[in-house]
Amino acid sequence: MSHKIYTFDELRDLFIKYSEKKIITAQPSGLYEPVNYIMGLTGKKIRPVVCLMVANVFDENLDHALPLAYSIEMFHNFTLVHDDIMDNASVRRSKPTVHVKYGANSAILSGDLMMIKSYEHLINCCSDNDLKFTILQLFTDTAVKVCEGQQYDMEFETAENITLSDYMQMIELKTAVLLGGAFKSGAVIGNCSDKDADHFYDYGLNLGLAFQVQDDFLDIYGNPDVFGKKPGGDIIQKKKTFLYLKAMELTEDKEKLKMLYNSDNLPEQEKIDKVLSIYDHLNIRQATEAKMNELTAKAETHLNSILVPEENLAVIKQLQKSLLERIN
């Protein structure tokens, strides 16, 4: 190993220290306070750490990767602030959402500011304009897709006849592309080859998809002691999850499942049990596990194609394990 490879926790600490120096003290405080508030909430910081982690595969010095990681985190938080208004969500990371704390107008405008600031951090990350333009293209393509994903997500709530492939496209756009982008941006700032940068992208994308499908899986089959909530919340909220859409694809009585899933007059536990019994009958658990395995295998094929010393990828493999091991 030619240089130090940091662990996830070390990178997260580095990132948090860097973030603390980025608190905005400018005026008007009514614009900047909501930005400092959301950026200061404790979160997993997976996306910025991923960017640093990949940059670290190629270089011990992370001076150029840190502002880039910060840009990605700020973009992600901008989407959270605006999505929370659209979804009428009142809690984020156990705290009031920005629009609840500061009002919808502040949340719109401070979100806009964060979007612009995420570009500002990006264009100041280093002095190599050609390299920055590659990242700018990636960042902008990704941002467009994230908006498209949010639009599909909003439309899906009321839309009829959503298919499993619609769903996979939606989660790809809404969340997986940003993870792919975080991986690839770290590769680009690390001066990686185009081919390997694309492998990092596809690795992150498939990992993101697997993680999202797992999220749906855990809502039903997760260990409540580990997962921290009662199984079946998605069923009560009538969420069009991978499991429901897979069941709709497989069942011979689509009308029956649809009516049951959208019914409001059954006791909650009875509704959950009835849906679960259909899932069991259709082997939805196995089908979902198969999908997660397929996506994970696809991700790994990309990671294994990258031409760097294997030991430099060890922390990435460990991160993957920690992201995808919540099933057991």
| 240 contacts a second copy (rule: CB under 8 A) | no
Nearer residue to a second copy within complex by CB, 135 or 313:
135
| 325 contacts a second copy (rule: CB under 8 A) | no
- Closest distance to a second copy from the beta carbon of 77 (Å): 13
β-bridge mates for residue 92, sequence order: 95
Give the amino acid at 212. Answer: Q
- Closest distance to a second copy from the beta carbon of 98 (Å): 13
Contacting range for a second copy; rule: CB under 8 A; set: 6-14, 114-122, 209-217, 223-231: 114-122
Nearer residue to a second copy within complex by CB, 174 or 291:
174
Nearer residue to a second copy within complex by CB, 115 or 164:
115
| 30 contacts a second copy (rule: CB under 8 A) | yes
Q: What is the DSSP string of 162-212?
A: --HHHHHHHHIIIIIHHHHHHHHHHHHHTT--HHHHHHHHHHHHHHHHHHH
| 129 contacts a second copy (rule: CB under 8 A) | yes
Site map (CB under 8 A) of a second copy, residues 75-104, x = contact: -------x--xx------------------
Alpha helices in the chain (DSSP H): 8-20, 29-40, 46-58, 65-86, 98-102, 104-123, 129-158, 164-171, 177-189, 194-221, 224-227, 233-236, 242-250, 254-261, 268-281, 284-304, 314-324
β-bridge mates for residue 95, sequence order: 92
Neighbours of 106 (CB within 10 A): 17
Tokens of 61: 């010095």
Give the amino acid at 126. Answer: C
- Give yes or no for a contact between 32 and 26, defined as CB atoms under 8 angstroms apart: yes
| 109 contacts a second copy (rule: CB under 8 A) | yes
Q: What are phi and psi of 91, to 5 degrees?
A: -125, 140
Tokens of 233: 């919340």
| 143 contacts a second copy (rule: CB under 8 A) | yes
| 165 contacts a second copy (rule: CB under 8 A) | no
Question: How many amino acids of this chain bind a second copy (CB under 8 A)?
Answer: 36
| 155 contacts a second copy (rule: CB under 8 A) | yes
Q: Which residues bind a second copy (CB under 8 A)?
A: 26-28, 30-31, 82, 85-86, 105, 108-109, 111-113, 115-117, 119-120, 123, 129-130, 132-133, 136-137, 140, 143-144, 147-148, 150-152, 154-155
